[in-house]
Structure formats: C-alpha cells, structure tokens
A and B are shown apart, each in its own frame.
Chain A
Amino acid sequence: MIEVSNISKTYGKVRALNDVSMSVAKGEIFGLVGPDGAGKTTLFRILCTLLLPDEGVARVEGFDVVRQMKEIRRRVGYMPGRFSLYQDLTVEENLKFFATLFGTTMAEGYDSIKAIYSQIERFKDRKAGALSGGMKQKLALSCALVHQPSVLFLDEPTTGVDPVSRKEFWEMLAMLRQRGITIVVSTPYIDEVRQCDRVAFLHEGEVKGIDRPDVILERFRDIFNPPGIRREHVAVAGAEDNVIEVSHLVKAFGTFHAVDDISFKVRRGEIFGFLGANGAGKTTAMHILTGLNQPTAGTGTVAGFDIRTEHEQIKKRIGYMSQKFSLYEDLTVAENIRLFGGIYGMSDAEIASKRDAMLEKLHFTEHRNDLVGSLPLGWKQKLAFSVAIFHEPAIVFLDEPTGGVDPATRRQFWELIYDAAGQGITVFVTTHYMDEAEYCDRISIMVDGKISDMGTPEELKRRLNQPDMDHVFTYLARKAKRGD
C-alpha cells in the first residue's frame, strides 16, 4: 500500500530524514511516534507529494511520489499538524468547502463524521474564529474526515483535544479501517499509540524500530513510560491560608455564560489541576484570575488582592505561561530572562546571578545565546516555565503547558513543577493529559462552565468509582450538554 525505501531529506544543514524505510499494509492504522523534530511532519509531506525527497523512493498505492503526483493527490487525504480553518467562514461553510474540495458533499460524508460533528453542529452558523481551541480541532477533524480517501495521513490530529473527544475520534478511525482505509497517524498520546496496529518510532530522522505498539512501548520504555514521580508532601509554612479564593464567578459574553457560577479555593504551595473539556471555560476562568478579563459577576481574591479592582497588584505576584508559546522567539535565552526579570523590577545583579543558577540547573548554560526560536519545543516549554517563576511569584498559572511533546519530556517538565511547588509556589495548571492530572494535589473538573467535581485524584476515583483519572474525566465530561 505504502512503500518507503531509503528516503532522506535535508534542509540546509539539518538532516530531517535519514535513510527511512517502512511499509504499510492496506487497511492498517500505522502510528508514527517520536519526539518533536524527529522528522514525522517531513515524512508526511513527502508521502503527500508536498515535498520532494533528496534520495530514495516512496510509493503510495503503487504510485511514485515524485512522478505521479496527480494520481496520489486524487487518492489521499491529509490533515497537517497546524491544520487551520478559515477563521472568517462559519463552521458549516468550512465543512462544505472542504467537502466540495474533495469532490463529495456534506450529506454524503455526514455519517462518517457524525460522532464528532454532532457536538459542534449547533454552532454551525458561528464563525470558526470564534470557537475555542479544542472546538476548532474538532471541526478540523470533521473537515479532514468528511471525504473517504483510500489513504489518510493525520499529523498529530488530537493535540489539544480533551480525552473524551479523542476517544470518539479514535472510534471513528476504527470505523474507517473497517472500510479498508489505510491510516497513517502521528500522536504524542500513549493511549492512542496502543490503538495502532503497528507503530514506527522515529528519532532524529531515523527509524529506530517498527513493531506492534506494546513491543515498541516496551523497547523504548524510558521515553514512553518514564517511572512516575512521587512527591513528598512538604508542609509549607502557613499551608492553611488560601492564595486563591473565588466565589460565584460568572463571565458572560452576551447570553452565553463561558464561566457559570464557579467557586473554589486553592491553598498555598498546592498543585491545583484545572481540568475540563474543550470549551468548558477553563481559559476564560484563568484569564479572570490573571487580570486579563473582568468577571461579569462574583468575587474573588488572588494572593490576597481583589480580582476586580486590584488586578495590577495581582500581576506583580503571579507568573503565567500560556498554551501559545510565550517567550520572544527573536530574542536569545539570556535576553528573554533579562527582559522578564526587568519587567518585574529585579536588579541587574540579581537577574545575572539567578539566571546563571537557573541555566545551570536546566543544563542550558551553553545555549544562553541561542535564539529561542531555534530551540526544540520541549526546551522552550521548560524555559518558558522557568522564566514564569523567575521572579518568585506566589502563584504560577500554566495553560496547557506541555502540548505536543513526548512523555519523557513531559516528565522532566513536571519535575520542574514539583521543584517550584517545593519552594512554596502555588501551581495552577490546565492539561489534557490524564497522567499529569494524577500528579496534581487536587483537581477540579469543569463541565459546561461549572465545576462539576473537585478533590484529590484518589478521592475522585473513589467517589465516582472509576479505575483512573481518564475514566473519571470521561464519566464527568460525557454529561456535558453544550458543545462549547
């Protein structure tokens, strides 16, 4: 079905793919896994005839990717990693357009996307740009699946999507496989890797192994399944006082209540996981707490200051790292540190000594003068987190800080979080990785703008009688009424 033999591709000095060979059989779900920058996207692009390989031969359904571009393009479907919709078209217009583009209609393709599209169908007249991040991803999935090609290439289709929707998505893939469609998919989620028929592990442009998922996961255990981390619960002085207190908070956009009457408290030094499905209102709530938005109703304090009137005081005492990468890409590591240190009023000498210590700890000293834009994603995330706590804030807010990186890198990231918590910094974090949810001291799960449950992971599992956090989340989120 797909034959790749000895493909190499070089960009300038960087060797993105080095002598890659593999074959995929018809009707197989074939997984591509590997850390950021392993060459997965390049391989997808070559198979889709978007890039020419420097060396080697690749065939899709018997057609050569170099010479028989037209035949291949007629048969494949492709969803790129940064698949973006037309922001100024409505949900339905987007779907219709992509359906026509692939020579089908919405009515014909409706059945195959029903499971996901039905969740957003009520917003079909809303512009895609006005949807929340996860909703956009669901729409993008619908657009990619609305036609039924014989080969489907999906480049990290579920990054940033909540666990429930990811399950539904994979159920759809299984359906497509039964119809004999070949699927090549890349993913950073271990539970998704397990659902593939076979996976190839790519690392630095080379294939390290191709086999059944359990074999690969076992063989590269230290990357995919790092030992869990345990934290001694350190009792921080004054651990009983609350650094965040929120009661009856509401944020309405017109008649739509993005945040609908939520109340909670976070204690000093706690790692508080703020979970929820896409569009449940997590980001909006976080914006209110960090002073980017004003609440419509309700009261709250962060670090002892009122979120309505004293947001500038709050800003001095918090750190923030958003899901969009938040350092300046065209500044070097050291320059970024100096900028953010300076913004919080630290003296030059203080910045210099703390910077050296921090770079030392991250083993970054030799990269201090590299442009941030040239670093791998996992490094950027660690750096962004270190910068966010550089001025020793009382609380640090992390909005999906670990999207799109492999388990080993995510584990290193959590070591940094534990470290920060150990210093008495309260951590307020949102995530879609349920293994990370287990790392939190306490979590809340938001559904439809309300907090539907809250407690330690153990409590929740016990109370709802579910084996792990994944099931807890699915159990609660499936009760959602609104899609956004």
Chain B
Amino acid sequence: MLRHLIQKEFLQIRRNAFLPRLIVVFPIMMMCVMPWVMNQEVKNVSVDVVDHDRSTLSRQLVQRVEASNYFVFNGQKPTYEAALKDIERMDADIVLVIPQDFSRDLTLGRQPQVLVAANAVNGTKGSIGGAYLSQIVTSHVNPSVEALQSKVSTLFLYNKHLNYKVFMIPALFAMVMMLMCGFLPTLNIVAEKEAGTIEQINVTPVPKWAFILAKLIPYWTIALFVIVVCLLLSWLIYGITCQGPVYLVFVLAMVLALFWSSFGLIVSNYSDTMQQAVFVMWFFVVCMLLLSGLFTPTRSMPHLAYLTTYVNPMHYFIDAIRTVFVRGGDFRSIVHQVCALSAIASVMMVWAISSYRKNH
C-alpha cells in the first residue's frame, strides 16, 4: 500500500512542470552562487586620507595604507568635510585624518591624535575596518607597540585562512533541508486539500501514518540526494570537505528533515489556503533562522533571546553541523545536540500525526 502511494508521489513530482527543474538547479545554485553571496567578510574597505601634516612620516603612513591590500585607497582629500562628503555618498568607508604637526609632535614625544572615522552604519564593517586601520597607525607611530604585537601571535584553528565559505557551506545544508522537507511537502498537501483529492484518499482505508509517510519519503530521498550533490560540489569547486565523519552529516540531516517535515505538516493541517501556509511557514522559518546562530553568534544575543535557542532546532543543527564539518568533531562531541534535536523532532512528529484528521 505504502509502495503504491510513494510511487504516486514520485510520478507526480516528475510530471510537475517546476519541481524536477528545482531539484536539479537548486543544489547547483546553492553551491555555486550562495557561498559567494553569503559572505560577510569585510573586504574592499575604501579609505579617504586627509593629510594636514605632509611630512615624510605622514607620507610614509599614507603609503602604508595605500600598500595594504586590505584597503582600497580612494584618494587624498584636502579637508575632513570633503572626505565626509565622500562617506555620505558612500564612496568611502573610512576617513584617516593626520593632524598638522603630526611628525613634529611625535618627535617631541607628544601624543598626536590621528583621527580614524569609520562609517558604522554597518557595524561589523566599521569596527573591523577601523580596528585594522588603527593597528596600522599605532604600529607605524609606535614601534614598541609593533614589537609587542609581534610577540602576540594568533592561531586560527580549523579555518586557518579565515575562509568565510567554510563557515557558510555547512549552514547551506540547513537551507536545503528546510526547502526540500519543509516547504515542498507542505505546498503539496495544501494543494491536494484545495483540489479535493485528499477527500478521496480519506475515504480509503489508508492509515494516516501511511499517507503522511508516503508524502514525506520522496522528499527525504530527494533531500539526501541533494546533500550528496552539495557535498560533492563543495569538494570540487572550493576544495572544502567535511572534516569529521561524513555519516554524521547525514544523521543530522535526517533528524532535521524529520523536524521540518513535521513542522510543515502541522502548518498544512491548520491552513486552508496555500497563501496562508506559505506565509505562516515563512514567518517561523525567518525567526528560527535568525535566532539559530547561522549568521550571527548566539552568544552575543541578549539573555532573553539566547533562551529561545534552547528550543530552536535550527540552533542545535547549525552548532552540530559546524562542529562536524568544520571542526572535525565526532559523534561524542555532538551527542548533546543530536539528542535535543531528536527530542524536538519527535514531539513535532507526534503533534503532526495527531493533528491530521481523517474523520471530523
């Protein structure tokens, strides 16, 4: 019985004008474009310099900024106001103002103040760019600090070159599962509701678990296939591979799939139209994603928001997949997340099956 129902779902997916294309194009788009786009790396910070001193020392400083491949040198401006105008037009991100008598004060042992004014509308960019420019300035004017800084070395574990893609690619798996196992089955069930064919199934002896499983298994299979493709692509295009055991990626993906499918089912059981289902789904997805630590560290959140991460399955998934994929963790290091995720998923599954009614 189950076999026939699953067969039917696969046939319908294949006949659909849109889905087969989505299944092929989606992972490719996901892996070829997303890692380039989802890049919060601070790059190409453009700098305006206002040099009121025009001494050798100040010119050397300017040259040092120009030479740094971190910054894009936008040009010298006569006054701070002129430079500020550049910032207002968003042509420049940071202004470096070297005061008059900069080199004379320095030789006299005074502490001349160099102004670094960063556009902080985008806080991350402002602070990283500003900090980096300050470092250049400090080490330039104060060789002893440079000496001290040289004593401090930094080792970045797991991601030596601070490649942002390493950070983002595992998170993309979460998106794949969300779309394939959450959105698509939901739309499918609501569509059957609207077409009235679900009534026909409801008068047959098909038990509700069979109907639900038959809806989900095709999408689970497709999602796993898509994940395999994504893993391959990430290796082929970026040379990024999973550091931990690969089977854990699939274990995590399956548990997450279970959660998203149950969640989607609950939404479809309570909505009458496609528009409603999509909007409700979208709302929860956005909240869960933003609070999951996918983009920003959960630990920086205020306490109240941080508490929500305890019930946010996406948070456990993102944490665990990064541990496995980036840090090379094994099962022992993600036991806690897997348990939490499975617990949430099972609760949702029970809710989903009990809220689906064949008989009113």
Interface of A toward B, CB cutoff 8 Å? 290-294, 311-312, 315-316, 318, 320, 322, 324, 326-328, 330-331, 335, 338-345, 371, 397
Contacts and interface: CB of A to CB of B under 8 A. Distances in A.
B205 A339 contact: no
A268 B272 CA distance: 38
Given A326-B197, A328-B12, A328-B197, A345 B1 contact: yes
A292 B360 contact: yes
B194 to A, nearest CB: 11
Nearest to B202: A292
A338 B4 contact: yes
Given A324-B199, A326-B199, A343 B206 contact: yes
Given A315-B205, A330-B12, A322 B5 contact: no
B197 A342 contact: no
A344 B202 CA distance: 12
Given A342-B5, A343-B4, A343-B206, A292 B199 contact: yes
A311 B197 contact: no
A397 B359 CA distance: 17
A320 B203 contact: yes
Interface residues of B, number: 25
Contact of B359 (A294, A326, A341, A371): A294
B8 A344 contact: no
B203 A315 contact: yes
A335 B196 contact: no
B36 to A, nearest CB: 37
Contacts of B110: none
A282 B195 CA distance: 21
Contacts of B21: none
A261 B11 CA distance: 45
Contacts of A335: 8, 11
20 contacts: A292-B199, A292-B359, A292-B360, A293-B359, A294-B360, A315-B204, A315-B205, A320-B204, A324-B195, A326-B199, A327-B197, A330-B11, A331-B11, A342-B5, A342-B7, A343-B5, A343-B205, A343-B206, A344-B204, A344-B205
A181 B8 CA distance: 51
A327 to B, nearest CB: 8
Contacts of B16: 330
A107 B358 CA distance: 45
B219 to A, nearest CB: 17
Given A328-B197, A330-B15, A290 B203 contact: yes
Given A316-B205, A324-B199, A326-B197, 9 more contacts: A291-B203, A292-B360, A293-B360, A315-B205, A320-B204, A328-B8, A330-B11, A331-B12, A343-B204
A335 B6 CA distance: 12
Nearest to A351: B4
A342 B210 CA distance: 12
A244 to B, nearest CB: 15
A344 to B, nearest CB: 7
Contacts of B4: 338-339, 341-343
Contact of A342 (B3, B15, B359): B3
Contacts of A315: 203-205
Contacts of B199: 292, 322, 324, 326
B200 interface: yes
A256 B358 CA distance: 23
Contacts of A294: 359-360
Given A312-B207, A343-B1, A343-B206, A320 B8 contact: no
Contacts of A340: 204
B11 A291 contact: no
A335 B7 CA distance: 9
Contacts of B8: 328, 331, 335, 339
B209 to A, nearest CB: 12
A312 B209 CA distance: 13
Contacts of B204: 315, 320, 340, 343-344
Nearest to A313: B205
A341 B197 CA distance: 16
B174 to A, nearest CB: 31
The 7 closest A-B pairs by CB, nearest first: A342-B4, A324-B196, A326-B200, A320-B203, A316-B205, A315-B205, A330-B15
A320 B200 contact: yes
A311 B204 CA distance: 10
Interface string B8-19: 100110011000
B203 A339 contact: no
Nearest to A308: B359
Interface in B302-360: 358-360
Contacts of A345: 1, 205
A341 B199 CA distance: 17
Contacts of B203: 290-292, 315, 318, 320, 397
Contacts of A397: 203
A326 B203 CA distance: 11
Q: Considering residues A328, A331, A338, A343, which has the most beta carbons from chain B within 10 angstroms of its beta carbon?
A: A343
A322 B196 contact: yes
A316 B15 CA distance: 29
A255 B259 CA distance: 40
Nearest to B192: A328
A292 B204 CA distance: 10
A397 B199 CA distance: 13
Contacts of A328: 8, 12, 197
Contact of A312 (B11, B15, B205): B205
Nearest to B2: A342
Contacts of B197: 326-328
Interface string B144-164: 000000000000000000000
B205 to A, nearest CB: 4
A341 B4 CA distance: 9
A294 B349 CA distance: 25
A340 B203 CA distance: 11
